[in-house]
């Protein structure tokens, strides 16, 4: 690379954001984090530095604050791209607090789109979700399959986000964007220095598994084994967060090198393999040698029965595919759970 390209990573101290900052730095990019630490911790910046030897510039403010954002952009002309992770993401909370979700997730995006135009930042990579497909009729699901009405305000902010970006790209041919539809990201950086930091009771399966195995939770509840799947539990496509982070670099480079076919594209990011909840638990037990105390309970409201990706478009166009197995991913989640607990103990926390 001739000059170090400058990339803003919103939500860069979050779970997927921090892993992406590491990959960016390791490829020679200058990553600038904007995050208000509403669901992350400043110690993540230390973790990133431990891995890469580079402390990323960190700007602590809320992206809803248009004035602060504009002031920052004025101070650093020549920014090449934005990777936008910053958003609220708890499905259940979004049902209880819809306005908070719409306000935060949409205002931040609108502000960033304004920034792209006003300060000549040509490229955007947007965090979207397989949640836009609802329960697909055909599996694996491709980018051609229809988007279904969202089942939560959170999911709706992702759908609306994609639509807003698509409209803006249609209106401004000089700007370009990619939306990445993630399936289920799991695991942590192999170094053990960064990983997921779920606040309070985890909603997601893998942090619940690791917290149960380490003894913070008494028992994992498997939400239903009466689905129309081989073992009755729900099926998802779990991919390692480092693989996912690498897809962002591939998407970014496609934009920077102008290899994109149109100025707005969408890609599924998954392994292409469906794994049931019971299989995930069994694989965790085999990969780590730890037992997970679990019980079968009723279905969780709003759960999709089964979904997995057809990632062939990303394989072909981004030259990206997942490389880390489910067992390795779960082992890395377990390593992180143990490291994280000892970091907390060292800091005198519980
Ligand atoms: C996986 C499976 C649960 C916890 C994710 C994101 C969400 C959204 C869609 C992201 C399901 C089961 C879980 C537990 C369980 N989009 N489970 N016991 O539902 O795919 O949602 O994708 O952008 O934000 O979280 O992931 O990890 O919550 O659940 O049995 O304690 O594990 O029923 O089948 P899900 P998940």
- The pLDDT > 90 percentage for the chain reads 93
What's residue 344's pLDDT?
Answer: 74
Provide the edge-to-edge strand list for the sheet that holds 264-269.
Answer: 57-59, 30-34, 6-10, 81-84, 123-129, 176-182, 264-269
CA of 22 to the centre of ligand 1 (A): 26
What's residue 162's pLDDT?
Answer: 98
User: How far apart are alpha carbons 109 and 175 in whole angstroms?
Assistant: 15
Does 161 have pLDDT greater than 60? yes
Q: Is 154 part of the annotated catalytic residue set?
A: yes
Name the closest-CA residue to atom 34, ligand 1.
234
What's residue 1's pLDDT?
Answer: 47
**Residue 268 confidence class, pLDDT cut points 50, 70, 90:** very high
Mean pLDDT of the chain: 96
pLDDT, tens digit (0-9, with 9 covering 90-100), for 164-193: 999 999 999 999 999 999 999 999 999 999
Name the closest-CA residue to atom 8, ligand 1.
131
**Cβ atoms 212, 294 nearer than 8 A:** yes
Q: Which atom of ligand 1 approaches the CA of 158 most closely?
A: 23
- The pLDDT > 70 percentage for the chain reads 99
Q: Where are the domains of the chain?
A: 6-346
**Residue 350 confidence class, pLDDT cut points 50, 70, 90:** low
Does 348 have pLDDT greater than 80? no
pLDDT, tens digit (0-9, with 9 covering 90-100), for 228-264: 999 999 999 999 999 999 999 999 999 999 999 999 9
Name the closest-CA residue to atom 4, ligand 1.
205
* Among candidate residues 218, 184, 188, 189, the one with its CA nearest the CA of residue 204: 184
Helix axes 15-26, 241-256, angle to 10 degrees: 60
What's residue 198's pLDDT?
Answer: 84
What's residue 199's pLDDT?
Answer: 82
Looking at the domain that runs over 6-346, which CATH code has it been given?
3.40.50.720
Q: Any bridge partners for residue 265, and if so which? A: 178
Q: Which atom of ligand 1 approaches the CA of 183 most closely?
A: 22
User: How far apart are alpha carbons 203 and 206 in whole angstroms?
Assistant: 9
């Amino acid at each position: 690379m001739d000059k170090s390209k400058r990339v803003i990573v919103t939500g860069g101290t979050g779970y997927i954001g921090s892993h992406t900052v590491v990959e960016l730095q390791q490829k020679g990019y200058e990553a600038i984090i904007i995050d208000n630490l509403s669901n992350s911790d400043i110690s993540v910046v230390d973790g990133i530095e431990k891995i890469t030897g580079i402390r990323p510039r960190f700007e602590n403010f809320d992206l809803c604050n248009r004035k602060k954002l504009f002031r920052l952009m004025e101070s650093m002309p020549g920014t090449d791209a934005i990777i936008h992770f910053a958003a609220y993401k708890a499905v259940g909370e979004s049902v209880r607090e819809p306005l908070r979700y719409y306000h935060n997730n949409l205002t931040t995006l609108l502000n960033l789109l304004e920034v792209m135009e006003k300060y000549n930042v040509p490229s955007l990579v947007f965090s979207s979700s397989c949640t836009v497909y609802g329960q697909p009729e055909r599996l694996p699901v491709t980018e051609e399959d229809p988007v279904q009405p969202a089942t939560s305000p959170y999911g709706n902010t992702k759908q609306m986000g994609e639509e807003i970006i698509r409209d803006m790209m249609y209106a401004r041919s000089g700007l370009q964007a990619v939306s990445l539809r993630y399936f289920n990201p799991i695991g942590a950086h192999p170094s053990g220095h960064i990983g997921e930091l779920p606040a309070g009771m985890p909603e997601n399966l893998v942090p619940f598994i690791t917290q149960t195995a380490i003894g913070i939770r008494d028992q994992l509840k498997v939400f239903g084994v009466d689905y129309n799947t081989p073992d009755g539990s729900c099926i998802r496509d779990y991919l390692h967060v480092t693989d996912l982070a690498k897809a962002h670099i591939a998407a970014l480079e496609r934009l920077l090198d102008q290899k994109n076919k149109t100025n707005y594209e969408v890609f599924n990011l998954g392994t292409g393999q469906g794994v049931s909840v019971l299989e995930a638990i069994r694989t965790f037990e085999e990969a780590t040698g730890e037992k997970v105390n679990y019980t079968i309970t009723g279905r969780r409201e709003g759960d999709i029965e089964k979904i997995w990706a057809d990632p062939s478009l990303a394989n072909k166009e981004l030259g990206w595919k997942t490389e880390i197995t489910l067992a390795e991913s779960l082992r890395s989640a377990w390593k992180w759970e143990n490291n994280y607990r000892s970091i907390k103990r060292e800091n005198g926390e519980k």
